[in-house]
Amino acid sequence: MDWKKLSTTKITQVYKSIFLNQCYICNAKAQSTLCNSCNEGLPANLNHCQHCKRPTHSADILCGNCQTSRPAYHICVAPYRFEGIIKTLIHSIKFNQGIHYIRPLTHLLSEHLIESYSTDHWPEQLLYVPSHPSRIKERGFCQTKAMTTQLTKDLKERLDKNPPTVPKKNPLKKIKNTLAQHSLSRKERLKSPQSSYQLDGTIAKHVAIFDDVMTTGSTIENCTKLLLKAGAERVDVWVIARTPDKEN
C-alpha cells in the first residue's frame, strides 16, 4: 500500500472502524483499531537510547547527548520512530485534518503506557505541549490537545483506576510563535524553543507531558525544566514517535 495516498476526513471510515470493526487505515477486518498487517508495518522504536529513546543502531545504550547532558525528565515513553506510516498519519492529522487517525495512534500509545507503568507509579497529572494560538487558528484545532483527550479516554477504558488528571486549562502555554520545528536545521531547533513556553496553573508532584513527536528533545526539555522549577518532583514524557537522527 502507498501510505502517502491515504485518504483523509472520511467520516464514513470512522463509522466503519468503530461499528464494523474495520481497520482505520486499510478497511480490512480488524480486532482492534488497526488490522494485523497495518500493525506489522508500524516502525517500532526497538533500538533506542535507554533514557531519551532516540533511535540508535544498538539496543540499550546511553546516547552521546544523554552522556554529555542527561535530560531532566524521569522516563520517556516513545514507542515508534517518526517515519513510514506513523509519519504519514501524524502529518495527515496536522496538515490535512485527518483527525480520524488520532484514535488508532492514541490507542497504540495507551498499550505501551500500560506496559511501561505495570511496575511503576502512574503520574497524577497529564499536560500537553500546545501549539501557538495563531497556529491553532490556522489549522482549526490543536492536535496535541485532541490527542490528549482521546488518550485519556483510551486509558480510562483500559485501566482499573483513574488515569492521570487533565487540567481543564492546560497549564503549559506557548508564548512565542517559533518556526515549525521541521523547517529548521538541528542547530536552529536547539536554539529556538528557549522561553517559548510558560506555566500558568497548579502543577502536581508527578506530571506527564504529552507531545505527538519528539525531534531534538529541546522543547520537551524546556517544558520539563519549567515544571521542575514550578514544584514538580518527577516529570515523565509521553510521545508517539521519536525522530531518528539524520545520519542514522
Contact residues: Zn ion, CB under 5 A: 23, 25-26, 28, 35, 38, 49, 51-52, 54, 63, 66
Q: How far is the CB of 34 from Zn ion (least distance, A)?
A: 5
Considering beta carbons, is residue 69 or 185 the nearer one to Zn ion? 69
Q: How far is the CB of 244 from Zn ion (least distance, A)?
A: 13
Residues 6+ apart with CB under 8 A from 232: 203, 204, 205, 206, 207
At residue 107, the 3 state secondary structure works out as helix
Q: Which three cell numbers stand for residue 140?
A: 482549526
C-alpha–C-alpha distance, residues 161 and 179, integer Å: 40
Considering beta carbons, is residue 48 or 174 the nearer one to Zn ion? 48
Considering beta carbons, is residue 3 or 141 the nearer one to Zn ion? 3
Residues 6+ apart with CB under 8 A from 164: 122, 123, 124, 125, 126, 152, 155, 208
Q: How far is the CB of 160 from Zn ion (least distance, A)?
A: 29
Residue environment code for 19-46, b if the CB has 16+ CB neighbours within 10 A, otherwise e: eeebbbbeeeebeebbbeebbebbbebe
Q: How far is the CB of 26 from Zn ion (least distance, A)?
A: 3
Q: How far is the CB of 59 from Zn ion (least distance, A)?
A: 13
Q: How far is the CB of 6 from Zn ion (least distance, A)?
A: 11
Considering beta carbons, is residue 51 or 81 the nearer one to Zn ion? 51
- Residue ranges of alpha helices (H) inside 34-127 are 36-40, 64-68, 84-95, 102-116
C-alpha–C-alpha distance, residues 239 and 211, integer Å: 5
C-alpha–C-alpha distance, residues 213 and 115, integer Å: 20
Residues 6+ apart with CB under 8 A from 24: 13, 14, 17, 30, 33, 34, 100, 101, 103, 104
Q: Which three cell numbers stand for residue 150?
A: 482521546
Considering beta carbons, is residue 83 or 245 the nearer one to Zn ion? 245
Q: How far is the CB of 44 from Zn ion (least distance, A)?
A: 16
Q: Are 53 and 78 in contact (CB under 8 A)?
A: yes
